[in-house]
Amino acid sequence: MRSFAFLQGLDRDLQENLLKQLRDLWTHTSTALEGNTLTLGETKFVIEEGLTVSGKPIKDHQEVIGHAKAIEILYNLLDKPVTEQDLFDLHKAVQTEIVSDIYKPHGAWKVEPNGTYAVNKEGKQTFIEYAFPSDVPSLMNQWLITINQYNSENLSLDTVIEAYAKIHMGFVHVHPFWDGNGRIARLLANLPLLKSGHAPMVIDSTNRKEYIEVLAEYQLEIGTLDKNTDLWPDESLLKPFIDFCKTSYQTTLDLIANAKKQQKKRDAKK
């Protein structure tokens, strides 16, 4: 079991249970943001027991198992620089529904343009065009350089949450894969947190509307990225997402506080 700063002072079983809680909540919230119907309790059951929940789609079971596997892959990345192949491996883990379609590659960059509709500040429908396939390798090289720079430093909590927001936003703005980008972004953006000894960020699915809106607002302001642009042309526009992330991190802090409260009760009885 890895030794993170946020686990210090806890008995071994409390450390293990806190890591499991974080794994299950992280998996549940990230997949639920994408429409997964399993509850937190069902997610825990599927991961720990390897059994199915009656009436729930097989796809939903595969997604949570794949995400839990991806978390283990992520922990293994703490000991090395992140590479392009690591991103492909994570894509294979989270993208459990393998489609036999050359236009939907499994563990490789997208080959077709992608985008999404959004509603802007004026209440009008508009289209967010993500980076074109030909621009993805150059943009993701920028992204890899940046995340590895963050991973080489021991960052304070406030600074590392800002890093989380920047890494997350950069990834989803490029949208380098045909599917699974959100889940992978929410995994990888946690590397700087974990490298600095902090617990991972989880974004509650109940905040899905605000989350989608703050991402879209930034992407509409910046516009489509290409290989001739900086990946983050105006970092001042990241502030609303940074603020959202700082608020979201309270869920993680609450889990840690509960574990420490349990430890305090134990210590009082010794």
Backbone φ, ψ for residue 102 (5° rounding): -65, -20
Integer angstrom CA distances of residue 168 from 93, 133, 189, 251: 18, 19, 5, 18
Contact 200, 194 (CB under 8 A): yes
Residue 186 annotated as lining a ligand binding site:
yes
Residue reference for tokens 């997350």: 168
Q: Is 184 annotated as a binding residue?
A: yes
Cα pseudo-dihedral 90, 94, 95, 98, rounded to 10: 90
Which single residue is written with the structure tokens 């989380």? 164
Residue 183 labelled as part of a binding site:
yes
**Residue linked to tokens 């077709």:** 112
Q: Which of 91, 168, 173, 175 is catalytic?
A: 175
67 catalytic residue (yes or no) = no
Q: Does 181 belong to an annotated binding site?
A: yes
180-189 b/e (C-beta count within 10 Å ≥ 16 → b): bbbbbbbbbb
252/198 Cα distance (integer angstroms) = 10
Numbered residues of the known binding site for ATP: 179-186
Numbered residues of the known binding site: 179-186
Q: Could you list the active site residues?
A: 175
